[in-house]
């Protein structure tokens, strides 16, 4: 995780946009949100996969709740 945080700090200091994605889900989102300066999270695959079992509205609601306390 420290390498990702350092990479995000470096990218941000160079004026680059910091994104994360592919493989993000409810189980690892809390760790991902420790990365500073995130602009975009690619979570579509996770949401659709979870929606198969939970329904799309519930899947989105769960992910939004998990991300609610992120502050850049």
pLDDT (tens digit, 9 = 90+) per residue, 42-59?
988 989 999 999 999 999
pTM for the structure as a whole? 0.77
pLDDT beyond 80 at 72: no
**Residue in the block written with tokens 């992120």:** 70
What is the number of helices (H) and of strands (E) in the chain? 4, 2
Instruction: Give Cα 42 to chain centroid, integer Å.
Output: 7
pLDDT (tens digit, 9 = 90+) per residue, 14-33?
999 999 988 899 999 999 99
> What CA–CA distance (Å, rounded) separates 63 from 42?
12
């Amino acid at each position: 995780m420290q390498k990702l945080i350092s990479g995000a700090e470096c990218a941000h200091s160079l004026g680059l946009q910091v994104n994360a994605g592919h493989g993000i889900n409810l189980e690892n989102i809390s760790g991902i949100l420790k990365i500073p300066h995130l602009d975009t999270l690619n979570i579509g695959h996770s949401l659709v996969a979870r929606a198969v079992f939970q329904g799309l509205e519930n899947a989105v609601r769960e992910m939004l709740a998990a991300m609610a306390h992120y502050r850049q």
